[in-house]
Structure 1
C-alpha cells in the first residue's frame, strides 16, 4: 500500500472497517477479533483517533511479535499481516473463515467505529442462524451504473464531512460498499435511485386507516428511492397525518406540539430500516390508525426480548456504520432506550412486540383522529398549563375546501380577515391557515394587505384582477 493511499484512508475516518490507534495497546486484541468476526478491517497505528491527526508510530520487533501472538492465541487461531509504511503501521485483519472467534475467552463484533463484546449464545446465533454479514456484501449483477444516485452520494459525503478530494471509488471501497470492485447490496440500498427495481421489498409502505380495526385504508404511500430519501419522506408523511396541539400564550402568539414525540418516531423508523431482515419478502410498514401508530420491520430479535434496550446485535452492520457516520444513531443499544425516554417525557405509551416481525407501537392520546372524517367536528379541549392554554388541533376534521369557503364567506360579510381568526375557528396551526390563504391568493380570489405584525386579507376586486 502506498503512503498517499494510507493518508486517504485516514481522511475517511474511523468506521466499520477502519480503526485508529496512537500506539499498540491492550485493546488491539478485541479489535482484531471484532474485524475477524465481521467483514475484516485495518488498524492504523500512529493516528490520534479523536482528531485523525498523524502522530507517527514505528513498531519494534517486540511489538510485531506481541500482535502476532494475540492473533495466534485467538480461538480458533488467527493470522494478521503487519506493514510499516513510513511513520505509520497498519495491521490487516481479514474476515475470518472460521467464525466466530474469541480473544481471551470473549467474543467481539464491530459496531460502527467500535468493537462490542457479545456473549457466546448471541454470536453463535448471529452467524449460524442468520448468515448476517453475507447479505450486505452480495453483488447484484443487474445493477446499472446509471442508477447510482450521485446526488445521494454527494449529500452523504457532505453530511459526513468526508474530504472533497477523495475519489468516489476510494470512499465506496473504504466504507465496505464494494465487493469484487462492484457495488454491493449495502451500496445499492444506500445509493440507488430506485431501490424497488433491484430489491422490491426494500421500501417503506405507509397506510392511513379510518378505523381502529384497520379495515378501511383512506390513504397510502410507497417510498422507493435511496435509503435516506425513504427515511426522510416516510418520516414527513407520518408527521403530516398526526394531530398537533396549539399552545396559546395569547391571541397572536402560539407554538405547536405534535401528539407523539417526533424524535422517537424518527428513531423507530431508522431502527426498522437498519435492523430489518432483508431476506424476508416484506417491506418496512407504517400503519397509522385512530388510536395508534405501528412501525413494523421484518426480522426476529437476535437476543432474548428481556434484554431489549440493554444489548444490540447487528443484522446489517454496514448500514449501521453508514447511519452512524451521518450521526443518526448513537452507541449500540441506545435506540430502544431513547424511544422509551422520549415517550415517557411526553406521557405517551410505547410498546414493543416481537416475533417474525419487530413492532414499535405508539399509543395515541386523542380519540378524534385523522381519518375519522364522518365524525362531527368535536370541540377542542383547553387545558391550563403554566398560564398557557393547550388546544388540540383536529385539522383533519375540517378539509381545505370547507375552510376556504368559510374564509370567502367571512370576507363577503365583513370585508377583512386575519389568519388568527382561521386558526381559532378551525383549531389548526398557523402553517395550515397560511397554505389556505396562499391558495386563495394564487386562485386570484383574495389579496394580502398590510405588513409586519399587522397583516390582513381582503377579497380581490375586479379591477385588481385585471
Structure 2
C-alpha cells in the first residue's frame, strides 16, 4: 500500500518524526509505520520493544497527545504502528503548527496558519468582528444595490427587504455581539480597503503584447465592485464583432457575459482579503486572466474544482449575501455552468491552482484572416453608414425626445441599468465627434436635446 493522506512509512525512528504526528493530529489523523520502507516493504526494527515505551512518552511530553503504539511482525521482522486520532484543538510542536495534506507534511505559516486556527475553533475568517467601525459608517448605495438585486432574484421577501439596515445585517448573520463582522465591512463599507488593503479590483489591458496599455482600479464595497466590474470590462475593454441577422444588429463579445460575471463574482466571494493583494484581471486580445489570492479546502485540486463538488466557502458569510442577492448558486454548480457556457460559445477555460492563489484563464476563439477581413469590412461600412449607434443608445435617445426633462435616475430606471452605466452612455452620446445629445441647464432642472434625426436610423 503506497503512502497516502493517512499513511506514512519510516525505516527507523527519529524524534523529529513527532512533527509528522503533529501533522496527522491537526488533519484527519492517520498511521505511521516505523520499520517499513517507502514502498511499503517491512524491513524490521532492532529496538522495537524499547520504542514501544519511548514513543508514547515523547509524544505526550512534546504534543500533549496520547497515541496508540502497536507492535507488529511479518516473517519474524518486528515493526511499529503509531495510530494518531484527529485532534479537536490545534496541536503545535515547539511552537510550530504542522499539517498533513496528501502524502506530505506542511509547516503552516501566514494566512494558512490563521485560517487553520480559525477552522479549529469553529470560526471562519469573514465572521471575525472588526473594531472601529459602526452601522452609520456603512454605504447607502451598497444597501440599495443589495435590495435591488435580492428583490429581482426573489431570494428575500418584501418584508425582509423593508427592514432597517441594521436589522438586515443581523438577518444575514453579519453582526456578532453588536459588532460588524469582516464580511459586513467588505460587503457594505464604501472603503473596505481601509481595513483590508487588497479589497479592490485591478483591470489592465495588454493587447497582443506584454506591455500594459491602460488600466483601471475599482474600489468600493463588494456589492459596488460586483455591480461595476463586469459592465466596465464590456464597455471599455472588450471589442464586439458586429454582424447582422437581417436588419438586426448582432454584437458578439469574446467571452460570454454570464460566464465573465460568474468568474468575477467567484473571485470577489472567495478571495483571501487578509493577503493584501487585489483581484487582478489581465485582458489580452484573445485571452483573459483572472487571479485572486485564496485558501482552498484541504486536499482540493484543480480536478476537484472542475468536477461537481460540495459548496465549501472560505468566506461563507460573504457567499451567503451574494446568494441572497441572486449573484450565485448555493450548490457549487457555478463553475460547472460557467464552463458549459464557454464551451457552447467556443471559449476554452483553464484553472491553475497554486498554494496561495488561483487563476482562471479564458481563451477566446481566434478569428481567421478571412473572418477578420470580413469583420473589418462590416465595421467600416457600418461606421460610414448612418447606423452608428447601439440599440440601447437609440432607445435612450427616443426616451429623451419624449421626456426631455428626465433625470439620470429616471433614465436609468427606464433602461433597466445602474446609474453609472447610464451616465456612461449619456457622456458617450454627448461627446461624439458629431454629438448626438446635449444637456442644457442644471443637473436637476435642465433638459435634454437630441441633435440627430432619429427617423433615419
Q: State if a TM-score over 0.5 links the two structures.
A: yes
How far does the alpha carbon of each residue in 1:379-398 deviate from its partner, in whole angstroms, 9 at most, with x for none? 8444xxxxxxxx47998xx9
Is the Cα contact below 8 Å between 2:262 and 2:338 reproduced in 1?
yes
Relative distance call for 1:155 and 1:236 in structure 2 (3 A) is closer
Q: What's the counterpart of residue 168 of structure 1?
A: 165
Select the residue among 107, 121, 135 that pairs with 2:125.
135
What SS does the corresponding residue of 1:293 show, helix, strand or coil? strand
- Per the alignment, residue 249 of structure 1 pairs with 245
- In structure 2, the residue matched to 1:36 is none
- Aligned partners of 2:438 and 2:189: how far apart in 1? 39
**Counterpart position of 1:259:** 254
**Residue 365 of structure 2 corresponds to residue 365 of structure 1:** yes
Per the alignment, residue 455 of structure 1 pairs with: 456
C-alpha distance in 2, partners of 1:184/1:201? 17
Structure 1 unaligned residues grouped into runs of 5+: 1-96, 101-124, 369-376, 383-390, 408-417, 424-428, 457-466
How far apart are the structure 2 equivalents of 1:269 and 1:140?
A: 26
Provide Cα deviations, 1:185-236, integer angstroms capped at 9, x if missing partner: 10011110122222221111111113333xx222111111111110121111
1:316-362 per-residue CA deviation (whole Å, 9 max, x = no partner) reads 11111111111211132212111110010101111111002111100
Q: Which residue does 2:274 correspond to in 1?
A: 279
- Alpha-carbon distance in structure 2 between the residues aligned to 1:441 and 1:154: 31
Matches within 5 A, 1:112-131: 129=116, 131=118
User: Partners of 1:393 and 1:193 in 2: how far apart?
Assistant: 45
**Residue 198 of structure 1 is aligned with which of 190, 195, 199?**
195
Equivalences for 1:33-432 in 2 at 5 Å?
A: 98=88, 129=116, 131=118, 133-158=123-148, 159=150, 160-163=156-159, 164-213=161-210, 216-240=211-235, 241-250=237-246, 252-302=247-297, 303-309=300-306, 310-311=308-309, 312-355=311-354, 356-366=356-366, 380-382=372-374, 391=375, 419-420=386-387, 422=388
Distance in 2 of aligned mates of 1:393 and 1:242: 19
Q: Is the 8 A contact 1:137 1:184 kept in 2?
A: yes
1:243–1:393 Cα contact (<8 Å) kept: no
C-alpha contact (below 8 Å) 1:259/1:364 kept by paired residues: yes
C-alpha RMSD of matched pairs (Å) = 3.8
For 2:213, what is the secondary structure of its paired residue?
A: strand
Cα distance in 2 for partners of 1:392, 1:239 equals 19
Which whole-Å CA distance do the structure 1 matches of 2:250 and 2:292 have between them?
A: 34
- C-alpha contact 2:196 2:276 (8 A) present in aligned 1: no
Give the 3 Å change call, closer, same or farther, for CA 272–128 of structure 1 in structure 2.
closer
* 2:202 counterpart SS class: strand
Structure 2 CA distance for aligned equivalents of residues 337 and 322 of structure 1: 21
User: Do 1:300 and 1:357's aligned partners in 2 also have CA atoms closer than 8 Å?
Assistant: yes
Q: Is the 8 A contact 2:145 2:224 kept in 1?
A: no
Q: Which structure features the higher share of helix residues?
A: 2
Aligned length: 293
Q: Which has the higher contact order (CA 8 A, sep 6+)?
A: 1
CA contact (8 A) 1:206 1:221 kept: yes
Distance in 2 (alpha carbons) for counterparts of 1:364 and 1:393: 21
